[in-house]
Amino acid sequence: MSATTILELPPCRGDSYLTDGSTLTSWLLTHDHKRIAILYCLTITGFFLIGGAAAALIRLNLLTPQGLLLDAETYNRTFTLHGVVMVWLFLVPSIPTTFGNFLLPLMLGAKDLAFPRINLLSWYLFTASGLIVLAGLITGSVDTGWTFYEPLSSGYSSGALVVVLFGIFVNGFSSILTGLNFVVSIHRLRAPGLTWYRLPIFCWSTYATSVILMLATPILAVTLLLVAAEHLWGVGVFDPTHGGDPLLFQHMFWFYSHPAVYIMILPGMGVVSEIIPTFARKKIFGYHFIAWSSVAIAVVGFVVWGHHMFVSGESIYAALVFSFLSFVVAVPSAIKVFNWLATLHKGSISFEAPMLYALGFILLFTIGGLTGLFLATLAFDEHATATYFVVAHFHYIMVGGMVSAYFAALHFWWPKVTGRLYPESWARFAAILIFFGFNLTFFPQFILGYLGMPRRYATYPPEFQVWNVFSSAGASILAAAYILPLLYLGWSLVRGERAPSNPWGATGLEWQTPSPPPTDNFARTPRVTRPPYDYPEPTV
């Protein structure tokens, strides 16, 4: 039985947003945030598959020390494609543009976002950017890695680089507009009675993510613009032959790209914060701390970027400052982990697929986060930087963390979005398989990095082969495990049981409307009178 967060609404009659217009134009010219979310989901799934194919090529190649499939240049192009596609065409948009778009107005009790047409524009910009980026990566020889370091990128790379940079520039516009839409919506469209401290944590995380999207992305845009201009003109501000400083590129690039990694985890944390209370049937522990920790991560995340440059030549004084601040930024994340665990404590826990993904997230994110502290330590980083230790670290957070959270969200809100229930046994199986495959893929990489195997190399010394084989084996399991949900979720669209409005008995306004919701979300604007996560107190 759902908690009484709002007054009882009369049942919504009439079409859902899915049936409200069935022509292609009604989808491609929609203003409905829910339809736009679906459009995003389709495009990012496509990009995920492309990025995943590149990953498969990488892991296949690394089965043997001499490199099984690819020569060095092709290998470099492959990991460049993998990084660019996964970062900008999958992870950065993932949860915000799909679940953020779908859920935010519902969670706010609003009929849509503040700027629906800008929302549609964001999707068009995003899709266009993806096509432009792919065109550049596939037709040209862009082998710089997703980090485009100077002077390799402007001086020694092919002209297709400019195409890729332009694509990412357009992608940035899409991000900025989405962030703006979310921030303004949260400020201005909350239903009567929905104060900031009654918002679900997902809204706080979305807000924090959106601040980063708005304030970091412009720096990326301008940095890539400078690189492209330098490439085209042959002269530039990063160019050492003209007295420019390549390190300036790194400062500006990482000023965006470090906060970007928080874009790529905060939404996942928001999702986990919704799922844990639901499947522990207990209100979240330390709501204010979790809410403000999202903001803290967003703000402090902007002042740690120099930890990517410890060995590049920045001053030791700056390195010390950045190292210290990198330790500080771990604190709000740790607060979240402690609060999730405290929420579980004495909760009435059940292990549906979303919960399995969420629990996996907590463990894998913690491992990833702790290894980040290793890397924030100057002395250790001297040894481990540019090795597989770093690769394992960020994959634990981005794949073990964020992708798990994405799948958690997919399962948790699937009934709401599609009006269908997915098959629970298959989902649990996939979740466990993903967890197993993931660890087999990436834990050996910590060992490889510690032993000294550098990243971004097509070949390696033979003594590293065993761990590489383990990793590649894990990757094949992971690949199969990621395909599974595509299959059973797709099946559920046609044969799945119809979902009630609140299959999990969760709190939150999105569950107080039918599954799937009508176009205007609510028959009457809800009025909120109760705190969030209003589950009954656990009986001892």
Partner 1 sequence: MSEHVLEKQFVDLAHQSETAELGIWGFIATEVLFLGGLFAAYGFFRYLHPVGVAAAASHTDLAIGTVNTIVLLTSSFFMSWSSLAARDGESRPAGVLMLITAALGIVFLGLKAIEYAEDIHEHLWPGPGFSLSTPDPKSGEVFYFLYWLLTGIHALHLLVGIGAILVIANRARRGVFTRAYHSPVRVVSLYWHFVDVVWIFLFVLIYLPGRAP
Partner 2 sequence: MPRPPRRLVFVWLILLLLLGGNIALAFVGLSVLAPVAHIAVAATMAVTVLVIFMELDRGVSLFWVFAGAGFFWLALLFVLTAADYLTRYSFTPS
Residue 490: partners with Cβ closer than 8 Å, 6 or more residues away = none
Binding partner selected for residue 36 from partner 1, partner 2, none, CB under the kind-specific 5 to 8 Å limit: none
Among partner 2, partner 1, none, the one that 235 touches (CB under a kind-dependent 5 to 8 A) is partner 1
Nearest Cα neighbor of 325 from 247, 254, 232 is 254
Residue type, 300: V
Q: With 0-12 CB in 10 A as exposed, 13-18 as middle and 19+ as buried, what is 180?
A: middle
Binds partner 1 (CB under 8 A): choice among 236, 372, 400, 437: 236
Residues 393-412: x where in contact with partner 2 by CB under 8 A, - otherwise, as a string: --------------------
Q: Which does 21 bind (CB under 5 to 8 A by kind): partner 2, partner 1, none?
A: none
The least CB distance from residue 279 to partner 1, in Å, is 32
Q: What does the DSSP 8-state code read for residue 286?
A: T
Instruction: Choose among 399, 404, 540: nearest CA to 55.
Output: 399
| CA 333/CA 269 separation, integer angstroms | 9
Is position 248 an interface residue for partner 1 (rule: CB under 8 A)?
yes
Write the single-letter amino acid at 244: G
Spatial neighbors of 363 by CB under 8 A, at least 6 apart, are none
Which CB atom, from 212 or from 290, has the smaller least distance to partner 2? 212
Q: Which does 317 bind (CB under 5 to 8 A by kind): partner 2, partner 1, none?
A: partner 2
Chain residues 422-441 in contact with partner 2, contact rule CB under 8 A: none
Collapsing DSSP to helix, strand or coil, 149 comes out as: coil
Question: How many CB atoms lie under 10 A from the CB of residue 432?
Answer: 14
Choose from partner 1, partner 2, none: what does 230 bind? Cβ within 5-8 Å by kind: partner 1
CB 342 within 8 A of CB 285: yes
DSSP percent split of the chain into helix, strand, coil, nearest 5: 70, 0, 30
Output the smallest distance, CB 336 to partner 1, in A. Answer: 27
Least distance in angstroms from the C-beta of 317 to partner 2: 4
C-alpha distances in angstroms, 235 versus 141, 380, 419? Answer: 21, 37, 57
With CB under 8 A as the rule, give the number of residues binding partner 2: 20
What track of x and - describes contact with partner 1 for positions 166 through 185 (by CB under 8 A)? ----------x---x--xx-
Per CB under 8 A, does 237 bind partner 2?
no
Q: With contact defined as beta carbons under 8 Å apart, do 338 and 290 qualify?
A: no
Is there binding between residue 187 and partner 2 (CB under 8 A)? yes
> How is 350-401 classified by DSSP, letter by letter?
---HHHHHHHHHHHHHHHHHHHHHHHHSHHHHHHHTTBHHHHHHHHIIIIII
Judged by CB under 8 A, does residue 149 bind partner 1? no
Q: 420 — phi, psi (to 5°)?
A: -125, 150
CB of 271 to partner 1, least distance (A): 24
Of 303, 447, 469, 523, the one binding partner 2 by CB under 8 A = 303
Give start and end residues of each alpha helix (H) in 109-200. Answer: 116-139, 152-156, 160-188
Taking CB under 8 A as the rule, does residue 433 contact partner 1? no
Q: Using CB under 8 A, pick the residue from 75, 302, 446, 535 that binds partner 2.
A: 302
- x/- map, 76-115, partner 1, by CB under 8 A: -----------------------------x----xxxxxx
Task: Please tell me the number of Cα atoms within 13 Å of 69 on its side-chain side.
Answer: 13
CB nearer to partner 1: give 234 or 462. 234
CA atoms within 13 A on the CB side of 255: 17
Name the binder of 4 from partner 1, partner 2, none, CB < 5-8 A by kind. none
**Closest by CA position to 307, among listed 374, 219, 208:** 374
Q: In which residue are the tokens 């520039």 written?
A: 169
Q: Which is nearer to partner 1, 204 or 365 (CB)?
A: 204
Residue 244 sits in the site that holds partner 2 (CB under 8 A): no
318 binds, among partner 2, partner 1, none (CB under 5 to 8 A by kind): partner 2
Quickly tell me which residue has 């690189």 as its tokens. 227
Is position 314 an interface residue for partner 2 (rule: CB under 8 A)?
yes
- According to the binding rule CB under 8 A, does residue 346 interact with partner 2? no
Q: Quick one: tokens of 225?
A: 């613009």
User: Judged by CB, which is closer to partner 2: 62, or 220?
Assistant: 220
Scan residues 213-232 and list those touching partner 1 (CB under 8 A): 214-219, 221-223, 225-226, 229-230
Helix axes 353-376, 404-418, angle to 10 degrees: 150
β partners of residue 420? 498
User: If binding is defined by CB under 8 A, does position 315 make contact with partner 2?
Assistant: yes
Instruction: Quote the least distance from Cβ 163 to partner 2, whole Å.
Output: 27
Query: Residue 68 in 3-state DSSP?
Result: coil
Q: Which residue has the tokens 């990489």?
A: 445
Interaction between residue 239 and partner 1 (CB under 8 A): yes
How far apart are CB 183 and partner 2 at their closest, in Å?
9
User: Binding partner 2 by CB under 8 A: which of 9, 118, 321, 447?
Assistant: 321
Selection from 293, 150, 173 nearest residue 223 by Cα = 150
Q: How far is the CB of 318 from partner 2 (least distance, A)?
A: 4
Asked if residues 103 and 163 have their Cβ atoms less than 8 Å apart, the reply is no
The answer to whether residue 130 forms part of the interface with partner 1 (CB under 8 A) is no
Q: Minimum distance between the CB of residue 218 and partner 2, rounded to whole angstroms? A: 9
Angle between helices 424-451 and 388-395 (to 10 degrees): 160
Piece of 30-38, 303-311, 343-351, 526-534 that binds partner 2 (CB under 8 A): 303-311
User: In whole angstroms, how close is the CB of 499 to partner 1 at the nearest point?
Assistant: 26
Q: Which residues bind partner 2 (CB under 8 A)?
A: 187, 211, 215, 219, 247-248, 251-252, 255, 302-303, 305-306, 314-318, 321-322
Residues at the contact surface with partner 1, assessed by CB under 8 A: 105, 110-116, 176, 180, 183-184, 187-189, 214-219, 221-223, 225-226, 229-230, 233-237, 239, 241-245, 248, 251-252, 520
